[in-house]
């Protein structure tokens, strides 16, 4: 509420960190930030917000930042009655902002759950950056990390690099940078062997650095586990994602990553319940949730539901989603819809040919091998299920 729109990222970051702190307590189920943020700036009754989000309680507040001071107000409202359960105001030096976040979380948990764990039982308290400027830059970069408009990824990369320069011990900045390099793999690494892909190598090294700096942050474990999975290092991926989920069982991002890993390991029956919880915690979820849900449905043999999700994902621009088009072709094959399967398969081949960065002599067979490889499936039966669908769609699988 400083009046400076450029400072919105700061209050967003404070809010996300409070959500993260609350999510560490197994007594609470906490709605994700992008779902709750949908109500920001609206004069909506707390009871209506609670109803739409399926929440028993709503936390609302404000952040005012002026120079080196920050004022945070927070109040807890019972969603059913609309009555205030607890309220507090914090006027502190900026350097104390992490202590304020922890204090708010503790008060809310006390009000809602009637008890709070001892400090020794909170296994995942995130390490605090040594310099607030690094945290400020990280928040700005984090806001851009999912933005794929021209120039956004480059700006995010620069912000994360500056944060690391200021505080080389700030683990979250390394994971932010790791994802920027991994995002580059999606568009510029089609067909490149993973050991030769410098962006993929950098992503892994940065995630490993983050873990060395802060092994108590569940998001750090999640990031490393996810990146290990893209290297097909399944044992290591499972170890770190299991740790992340144990540290923070209510983080929907962690749950969704953990769910797809279970599916990739041949356990789709375990994956679906975790994915459903992630959707419930984050009802206004980003689109990549459906990317993984479609694969889980496919592995469960629920091809009609998988196809419906993929149709929605690719309806606007099929050529933008070559992996989805391959899986959509496989779905249609398993459903006996041969003509549609063949059409999707042709779009997949044409699109990958335009994006291909691998061996110049490659053709349709290599394109299929690539899309099967980046499905990151461990169980040979799961691989064959996908290949069968692609073969039935007329592809050399």
- Is the separation of the CB atoms in 241 and 214 below 8 Å? no
Residue 58 and residue 38 in contact, taking contact as beta carbons nearer than 8 Å:
no
Please give the pLDDT value at position 124. 35
93 bridge partner residues: 69
**Residue 108's pLDDT is what?**
67
Q: Are residues 383 and 371 in contact, defined by beta-carbon separation less than 8 angstroms? A: no
Q: What is the pLDDT at residue 256?
A: 95
What are the CB-based long-range contacts (under 8 Å, 24+) for 67-70? 68/93, 68/94, 68/95, 69/93, 69/94, 70/94, 70/97, 70/100
Question: Minimum mean pLDDT among 67-71, 160-164, 199-203, 245-249: which range?
Answer: 67-71
Which residue matches tokens 């404070």?
14
| Cβ partners under 8 Å of residue 67, min gap 6 | none
DSSP state of 95: G
Closest among 359, 374, 357, 365 to 397, alpha carbons compared: 365
C-alpha dihedral over 219, 37, 105, 16, to 10 degrees?
Answer: 30
Average pLDDT over residues 21-36: 78
Cβ(85)–Cβ(46) below 8 Å: no
Nearest CA to 34 out of 170, 146, 158, 186 is that of 146
pLDDT of residue 8: 78
Q: What is the pLDDT of residue 314?
A: 95
- Using the predicted structure, report yes or no on whether residue 224 has a pLDDT greater than 80: yes
pLDDT confidence bin for 370, thresholds 50/70/90: very high
What is the sign of the dihedral through the CA atoms of 167, 173, 174 and 180? negative
Residues 341, 290, 380: CA angle, nearest 5 degrees: 60
CA angle 223, 202, 237 (to 5 degrees): 35
Q: Which two tokens stand for residue 127?
A: 């390490």
- Could you tell me the pLDDT band of residue 75, with boundaries at 50, 70 and 90? confident
Contact 217, 172 (CB under 8 A): yes
Q: What is the CA radius of gyration of the chain?
A: 22
Give the mean pLDDT of the chain.
87
Q: With a cut of 60, say whether residue 359 has pLDDT above it.
A: yes
d(CA 295, CA 276): 14
Domains of the chain: 5-118 (3.40.50.10070), 132-248 (1.25.40.10), 301-392 (no CATH)
Q: Please report how many Cα atoms fall inside a 13 Å half-sphere around the Cα of residue 397, on the Cβ side.
A: 25
Q: What tens digit of pLDDT does each residue of 200-215 get?
A: 999 999 999 999 999 9
How far is Cα 329 from Cα 344, in angstroms, rounded to an integer?
A: 5
Q: Given this model, what pLDDT does residue 112 score?
A: 55
**Backbone dihedral angles phi then psi of residue 334, each to the nearest 5 degrees:** -65, -25
Maximum alpha-carbon separation in the chain: 68
């Amino acid at each position: 509420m400083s009046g400076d729109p450029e400072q919105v990222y700061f209050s967003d970051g404070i809010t996300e960190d409070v959500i993260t702190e609350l999510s560490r307590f197994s007594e609470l189920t906490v709605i994700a930030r992008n779902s709750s943020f949908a109500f920001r700036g609206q004069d909506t009754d707390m009871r209506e917000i609670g109803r739409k989000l399926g929440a028993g309680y709503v936390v609302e507040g404000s952040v005012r930042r002026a120079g080196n001071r920050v004022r945070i107000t927070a109040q807890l409202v019972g969603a059913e009655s609309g009555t205030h359960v607890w309220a507090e105001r914090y006027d502190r030096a900026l350097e104390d902002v992490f202590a304020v976040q922890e204090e708010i979380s503790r008060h809310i948990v006390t009000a809602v759950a009637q008890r709070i764990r001892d400090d020794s039982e909170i296994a995942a308290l995130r390490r605090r950056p040594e310099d607030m400027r690094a945290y400020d830059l990280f928040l700005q970069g984090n806001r851009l990390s999912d933005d794929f408009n021209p120039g956004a990824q480059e700006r995010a990369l620069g912000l994360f690099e500056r944060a690391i320069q200021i505080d080389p011990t700030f683990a979250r900045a390394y994971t932010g940078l790791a994802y920027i390099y991994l995002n580059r793999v999606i568009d510029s690494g089609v067909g490149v062997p993973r050991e030769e892909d410098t962006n993929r190598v950098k992503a892994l090294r940065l995630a490993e650095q983050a873990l060395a700096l802060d092994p108590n942050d569940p998001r750090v474990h999640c990031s490393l586990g996810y990146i290990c999975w893209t290297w097909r290092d399944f044992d290591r991926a499972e170890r770190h994602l299991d740790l992340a989920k144990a540290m923070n069982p209510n983080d929907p991002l962690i749950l969704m990553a953990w769910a797809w890993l279970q599916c990739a390991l041949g356990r789709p029956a375990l994956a679906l319940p975790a994915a459903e919880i992630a959707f419930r915690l984050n009802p206004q979820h980003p689109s990549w949730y459906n990317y993984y849900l479609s694969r889980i449905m496919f592995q469960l043999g629920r091809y009609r539901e998988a196809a419906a999700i993929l149709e929605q994902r690719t309806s606007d621009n099929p050529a933008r989603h070559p992996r989805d088009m391959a899986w959509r072709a496989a779905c249609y094959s398993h459903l006996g819809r041969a003509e549609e399967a063949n059409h999707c398969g042709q779009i997949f081949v044409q699109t990958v040919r335009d994006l291909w960065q691998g061996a110049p002599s490659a053709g349709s067979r290599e394109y299929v091998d690539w899309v099967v490889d980046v499905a990151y499936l461990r169980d040979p039966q799961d691989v064959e299920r996908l290949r069968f669908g692609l073969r039935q769609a007329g592809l050399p699988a």
